[in-house]
Chains A and B, each alone.
Chain A
Amino acid sequence: MSTDTDTDYDVAKGDSVHPGKPVMVDRYTGGARINHWITATSLVLLALSGLSLFHPRLFFLSALFGGGQAVRAIHPWIGVILFFSFLGLFLRFWKLNLWKREDGTWLARVRDVLTAHDERLPEVGKYNAGQKLVFWSMSILIIVLITSGLVIWDQYFAAYTTIEQKRWALLVHSIAAILAISVWITHVYAAIWVKGTIRGMVRGSVTGGWAWRYHRKWLRELVAKPPAGVPTEDKKRTAAE
């Protein structure tokens, strides 16, 4: 029974294995990828426009958006897009990011993680502890950012809060943004460092070796599933349950 629950957690709809040479594993559906890249684009635009107002030396970045007035007007709207786009990602992935026993072990061996001794790490599901931390910290930070952001969106919401509350919101918003950008840097770096990862989010699939090396538990569960790869059959099965 416990294995059943594990399977539910670690395998997402659309994940499937295609045997061959090499083995290919479907990791992200088209919808998930589009959802991800809308979020990514908004986040980059938000970081650039936000940083232009954060430090005078970065004000030149506002030129990318057509000047300071344009940044002031557009930044909050991009934030709204990011919030809903990320909400989509959250609903897709939150279950897969629930903390598991092996995550603690994985995290305790962070030295092996950083030195690429993946063979010394416990087998993990679709996401490892690092990815889960990125997921949850981004979730929390985006809630903080949208909330504090609304407080300082003077064009529409100036009347609803006091100046003192807006001062706090500005401070909280900038600190949360710094943290979010730092988490984003970590996320992007990890994707660049671990070869074969970006392909998963661009093409949707990874090699079997990649899944074996980094997400073996996920791969095992996928293999244990009745032959997939035929989405209709997969759907029938879930519907029958």
Chain B
Amino acid sequence: MFPPVPNPTTGPQSPKFGEKDLMRRSASTVRPPAERQTEVAKLIDVSKCIGCKACQSACIEWNDTHPEIEENTGVFENPHDLTSEMFTLMRFTEWENPETDNLEWLIRKDGCMHCEDPGCLKACPAPGAIVQYSNGIVDFVHENCIGCGYCIKGCPFNIPRISPVDHTAYKCTLCSDRIAVGQGPACAKACPTQAIVFGTKEEMKKHAEGRITDLKSRGFANAGLYDPPGVGGTHVMYVLHHADKPEIYAGLPNNPTISPIVEAWKGVTKYAGLAVMGVAAVTGFLHYMVNGPNRVSEEDEEAAERLTGDRSS
């Protein structure tokens, strides 16, 4: 058992991180802090999850969201997808293991992975709408968000959702407001089986190791940690009993990276584009300086007069 985050004191506390700890800020250049805060992480042990959705309830409770009541369509997901009011979602998969012929009920808590190299932040055009703190938390700052939805295209995990009410993007904050005062995320606090635990990234990796050894001893030879290197690692990690095929867990991407299309759009296109337009303008200016205006001459006017004169005669 991993020691849970202790209950908070009742006295007022000042936040442990803030503006000065920004590593990245969307559409802006920031100087990263000289000293990085200890990286935090949430570890979701899929093998211990019982699918009770206490994490979803805790998330709704803490963030004061109001997901719409939907229709039951015969599946366990509720609501049917992440929304701007539902930052985390249990996704259920019935998977037949071809090796054992057993039906395995895979339950994965979906939500923002808090990538070390966040695609949402890379794609965001609004200065300061997405920030990354040095402890690894990627957060959306709603007063700066313009609702363009570029973060959705940047995200390799299909997480952000635009609110139809205030037209800004929402996702899991890793309970940055709770962590700032020494508490754990609401979902981790509510989880009855400790399938969700929270601590420093190092602690979580170590804890995961123990879990993986345990799973391997129980016959899950491919048990492993999901901390995808393609996005520089994540600050939400999974322990998977079938880590060799993450896609069976409701399409968890195998080796996710920021899409090369997004990289091309936010990389070379941005600079080459400005260069092309600049060259067009400068070429025009230089051409005018060298050649001067192209004017109609007196002879041209006279020629036109002769031409029209011919007709009237």
Contact = CB atoms under 8 A, between A and B. Distances in A.
Contacts of B162: 154, 158
A212 B125 contact: no
Contacts of A211: 304
Interface stretch (B174-182, B214-222, B257-265): B257-265
Contacts of B144: 68
A213 interface: yes
Contacts of A71: 146
B34 to A, nearest CB: 24
A22 B304 contact: yes
Contacts of A167: 153, 259, 261-262, 265
Interface stretch (A4-12, A89-97, A110-118, A133-141): A110-118
A15 to B, nearest CB: 14
A59 to B, nearest CB: 6
A17 interface: yes
A193 B300 contact: no
B152 A53 contact: no
Nearest to B126: A68
Interface string A162-174: 0110111011001
Given A170-B150, A171-B269, A181-B277, A209 B303 contact: yes
A72 interface: yes
B1 interface: no
Contacts of B311: 19, 223-224, 227
A166 B149 CA distance: 10
Contacts of A101: none
Interface in B3-38: 27-28
Contacts of A69: 146-147, 167
Contact of B296 (A115, A179, A196): A196
Given A193-B293, A194-B294, A223-B307, A186 B280 contact: yes
Interface string A183-199: 00110010011111000
A33 interface: no
Given A59-B127, A219-B307, A178 B273 contact: yes
Highest count of chain A CB atoms <10 Å: which of B158, B296, B302: B296
A213 B297 contact: yes
B273 A17 contact: no
Nearest to B125: A53
A130 to B, nearest CB: 12
Interface in B289-307: 291, 293-298, 300-305, 307
Contacts of A185: 277, 280-281, 284
Contacts of A67: 146
A171 B265 contact: yes
Contacts of A55: 270, 273-274
Given A22-B301, A59-B27, A68-B126, A223 B308 contact: yes
A41 interface: no
Say whether chain A's binding surface is mostly helix, strand, loop, or mixed.
helix
A174 B274 CA distance: 11
B287 interface: yes
B28 A56 contact: yes
B151 to A, nearest CB: 11
Given A56-B27, A170-B265, A175-B269, A212 B300 contact: yes
Contacts of B298: 209
Interface string B158-184: 100010000100000000000000000
A52 B127 CA distance: 11
Contacts of B146: 53, 62, 67-69, 71-72
A69 B277 CA distance: 26
A59 B27 CA distance: 9
B305 A22 contact: yes
A156 B274 CA distance: 30
A208 interface: yes
Nearest to B296: A209
Interface in A98-137: 114-116, 118
Nearest to B303: A212
B141 interface: no
B195 to A, nearest CB: 28
Contacts of B293: 193-195
B79 to A, nearest CB: 16
A209 B277 CA distance: 33
A189 B284 contact: yes
A166 B262 CA distance: 10
Interface in B111-129: 125-127
Which A-B residue pairs are the 7 nearest by beta carbons? A208-B304, A68-B146, A209-B301, A209-B300, A56-B27, A189-B284, A19-B308
Given A192-B288, A212-B296, 8 more contacts: A59-B125, A68-B148, A115-B291, A163-B152, A168-B261, A171-B264, A181-B280, A209-B304
14 contacts: A19-B311, A53-B148, A55-B274, A56-B27, A168-B261, A178-B277, A182-B280, A189-B288, A193-B284, A194-B293, A195-B293, A207-B304, A208-B307, A227-B311
